[in-house]
Each structure stands twice: as structure tokens, then as C-alpha cells.
Amino acid sequence: MNINYKKYLSIVTFLILIILMVCAAQAQTPTYDQWGMASPRFYHCDYGDWTTVASYYASLPTLSANDTFCLIGATQTLVGKTLTSPTLTTPTLTTPVITGVIDASDGLTVDPGAGIDVESAGILDLGDDTATTINIGGTAATTLNIGASGTLDRTFNIGCGASSDTFNIGTGGTVADDINIGDSLAVVDVSGSTVTLNATTLTLTGTTTNITGGSGSIDYDNFDVDSSGNVEASGQIHSDLYHWSDEFDYEASGVELGSGLQADFWTVSGTNDAAGMYLYTAGAGGTLDVSSCVAEDDSSAISGLANYRVNNDPIIEFRFKISDVSNCFAAVGFAEGSFDDKGTVDDDVCLVYIDYDSADTTPDLSWNVWCADTNVDVSGDLGVDATSDTYIIAKIDLTDTEQPRIWIDGTEISAALILGTVQAGTTLFPYAHVQTNYTAAKEIVIDYIETWQDR
């Protein structure tokens, strides 16, 4: 019998290698069952008890770009590992050290109360290199706190670059914003070649309120000063406009307008008007009482000097009241010529008026505007009702002949309600008219008339 010793020797050698490999595998720590992987090594350990939760140990290489590390289960924990350009889907990272760029295509979310900070004192850059728009607190955040706590002395630099910046604060909303800057201890400096305050109401409050400047100016349309204390000027208060007013305080109560100190300025006219219908009265600061006679369509009117040119942008303001608005026509404003009856106006006018007649199908208690341009009369309802024995302030501005402006008690009337125009190049005078629409005398009481125009 021929024995092939070489063959048996090969078999024995193979078995010895198998035994050595098994012994080497058993020498790995820890391992307690047959599960395992070599290079990279991955072992499952249950410590000999199949009923307990197992532990997994992985000895991983450094992952390179395009490598994918897949583990079984929703949560895996990596300790002390280096991931180079990994793709992480909704991971939880606890105190990681990250260098380079984080490409968070689905956004970066942190736990409530957590934040993004630098490891040590220094600069935290946000959108410093490539971002063109930075959105903070878009649709969810209701409070944005920037430097809102602590006792540090801080410096806020906004728009301090060399280029032109545009700042929009509190714009774009559909409701009124409440914008507060500074408190009683703050020093607020606003400077610029042009500072524009565009507000319906500008209110300056404080124990001491100062507006200071060099050779500049404050240009504000319809600027009113309402102060509970004093308004003081260390220099002159100068206006480039012509200004005139009549407070009707020149005479004692009961003196006729036509025989007083201002008789040369005023002309009286009307239907059945007579002495006793244009009287100075004892109203606070002086008043003038203009009344009609008692027959229907009786009227009384006062006309000032024709010193006002439409081309010089005249403005007029009346403070007056009507004792009884029922069955009354009353008008104040500018006129080119006087008229005895409301139905016979044949000159240019711009008047604020009421024409209430109980005989009308729908009697109108509203204040209206009456503009007559070359005898073309247009009137419009101003949306404000008249009230008996109640003062109102009516202001008319003819700076724009194609669009007169009107204020009632300090509120400007919408341009859409002011119909009609005035004729350029005409000469006007202050005018007030009262007329009865019934068999009862009507009365208008004028506190003051004030006018302005370019010189």
C-alpha cells in the first residue's frame, strides 16, 4: 500500500492553521460568542446571557469621502471617532469638536435653551462670508432678545460699513407698530444731512425738551405745538410767509364791526342785513357775532381786503360756531366776490360750508367743500357732521390749485372727498356768510381768522 505522506501533511498543516486562527479569535477582548468581523473588527457581546441586552463594540477606521457607515437601529453612539466629510441624517451630537464647513442642507436645530457660541472669548461670525440675506425669527419667534440681559457695557454697530445702507424698522405691517427707543436715562443722538419725520402726530415729551441745530431747519407740514408749559426761544422766531389774523378783540362787546378799529378792513353785505347784525361780543379772547334777519333767505356776510393771490399759495383758518345748524346755510373761507344768496355765486370761491334745509328730501348736516373755478361750482361732502353751538376749526390750503387741502379740527380731509379746483391767478379775500333757510334768524360766531401766504 502506497501512502501519500505529502497529502496527509497538507491536511494536518491546514488543521493546525484552523486551530491557531480560532485561538487567535478567542484571544480578542471582549467576545463571548461566535459573532464577529475582521478588519474592521465588529463584535457582539452578551456576556453569556442571551436574555440580557447586548453591547456592541466597534473598532472603526477613519471614514473617507463617499464612505457610508451603516449600523442597525435608530440610535448609535460613536465615542472618540473621526468622521471625515460624513453625511449625517438627523443626528444627535453631544459636545462634538467640528472643524471645517458644516453643510446642513435641511437646517441646523438645537435643543430649546441651547445655542451656538465660540469655545472661548472671541468673535462669533454669522453670515460673514457668503450669505446675502440673514433671516432671524421669521414666522415663529415672538420675542427677539439682543443684548437684553446682564450688566455689561455693550456697543451695537449696525450699518457702519463704507457703503450706503437702508434701514427699515417697523415697516410692512398691517397694524400699527409700537417702536420705543431709549428711556428716561438714555441719550439719543440723531444726526444726518437730512432727517425726515413723517408722522401724523409728532410728540416730544420730557421735563426739558430741546431741539437744537446749526443753520438747518425743521420743515414739517401743519406743525402744531401743544405744550402744557412754555415754549421758549432764545433767538428770533422768523417766518418767510406773510401772516395776518383777526382775533376780534379790538372792541368792547356790542360795538358794530363797521364802526370799530378794523372798519377799513371789513365790508359787510347781505339781504335785509342791518345795524346790530355785526357785533363784537364778549367771548373769551374776543369774538364777532354775525346774524341774519328772520325772513327766509335773509343773509349777512363779511368780506376782508383782497390781499390774497392764489399764485402766492394762500392759507386760511377759521375758528367759529353756528348757534343753530338746523335750516341754516353758513360758509367760511376764501372768495373772489361776495354774494347775497347762496344760489347766485358768480365768482371763484373755496369755502367750507353747511346747507341744512328741513324742506329737502334728505336734509344734510354734513360740512362740505365748495370750490368754484371760473363759475364752475363743485361741492363735496367732507364726512364730518355739524353740531349746534360747538366751535370747529376749518383750515383751507390753496397751495395746489388743482387739489385744495382742508382740515377740520386738525384732521386733514381725504383728497378724494375734496372735489373741484380753484382758478390760478385770481385775487381772493377772507369771507364768512350766514343765511337762513327758514323764517328764523341764524347766527355765526367767529373766534378768530388767521391767514398766511408767500410774500
Percent of the chain with pLDDT over 70: 72
Query: Confidence class of residue 36 from pLDDT cuts 50, 70 and 90?
Result: very low
Q: What mean pLDDT comes out for the span 221-237?
A: 64
Q: What mean pLDDT comes out for the span 39-50?
A: 48
Query: Confidence class of residue 167 from pLDDT cuts 50, 70 and 90?
Result: confident
What does pTM read for this prediction? Answer: 0.56
- Per-residue b/e over 313-337, b at no fewer than 16 CB within 10 Å? bbbbbbbbbbbebbbbbbbbbbbbe
- More confident: 225 or 321: 321
Nearest to 288 by CA among 387, 432, 389, 386: 432
**pLDDT value at position 349?**
92
Cβ-contact 23, 15 below 8 angstroms: no
pLDDT at residue 126 tops 50: yes
Query: Confidence class of residue 50 from pLDDT cuts 50, 70 and 90?
Result: very low
pLDDT at residue 27 tops 60: no
Tell me the C-alpha distance between 345 and 278, whole Å. Answer: 22
pLDDT at residue 74 tops 60: no
The C-alpha cell at 344 is: 347766485
**pLDDT value at position 93?**
72
- More confident: 34 or 340: 340
Q: Where are the domains of the chain?
A: 5-58, 246-454
Q: What mean pLDDT comes out for the span 20-30?
A: 57
Query: Confidence class of residue 213 from pLDDT cuts 50, 70 and 90?
Result: low
Tell me the C-alpha distance between 316 and 397, whole Å. Answer: 7
- More confident: 42 or 401: 401
Nearest to 169 by CA among 161, 157, 178, 160: 178
Cβ-contact 108, 115 below 8 angstroms: no
Nearest to 386 by CA among 357, 351, 424, 356: 356
**pLDDT value at position 304?**
97
- More confident: 396 or 218: 396
Query: Confidence class of residue 146 from pLDDT cuts 50, 70 and 90?
Result: confident
Query: Which range in 12-21, 105-114, 347-356, 377-386 is most confidently predicted, on average pLDDT?
Result: 347-356
pLDDT at residue 221 tops 70: no
Cβ-contact 266, 449 below 8 angstroms: no
- More confident: 232 or 47: 232
**pLDDT value at position 116?**
78
Q: What mean pLDDT comes out for the span 336-355?
A: 90
pLDDT at residue 110 tops 80: no
Phi-psi region of 312 (alpha: psi -120 to 50; beta: other; left: phi over 0): alpha
- More confident: 335 or 168: 335
Q: In the 3-class helix/strand/coil scheme, how is 50-61 assigned residue by residue?
A: CCCCCEEEECCC
**pLDDT value at position 332?**
97
**pLDDT value at position 165?**
81
Q: What mean pLDDT comes out for the span 283-292?
A: 94
Tell me the C-alpha distance between 261 and 377, whole Å. Answer: 35
**pLDDT value at position 114?**
73
Average pLDDT, the chain: 79
pLDDT at residue 161 tops 70: yes
pLDDT in tens, 397-428: 999 989 999 999 999 999 888 888 888 999 99
By 3-state DSSP, what share of the chain in percent is helix, strand and coil, each rounded to 5?
A: 5, 25, 65
- More confident: 199 or 287: 287
**pLDDT value at position 157?**
83
CATH 3.40.50.720 fits 246-454, yes or no: no
pLDDT at residue 40 tops 60: no
Q: What mean pLDDT comes out for the span 300-307?
A: 96
Query: Confidence class of residue 32 from pLDDT cuts 50, 70 and 90?
Result: very low
- More confident: 239 or 444: 444
Q: Dihedral through CA 132, CA 136, CA 139, CA 144, nearest 10?
A: -160
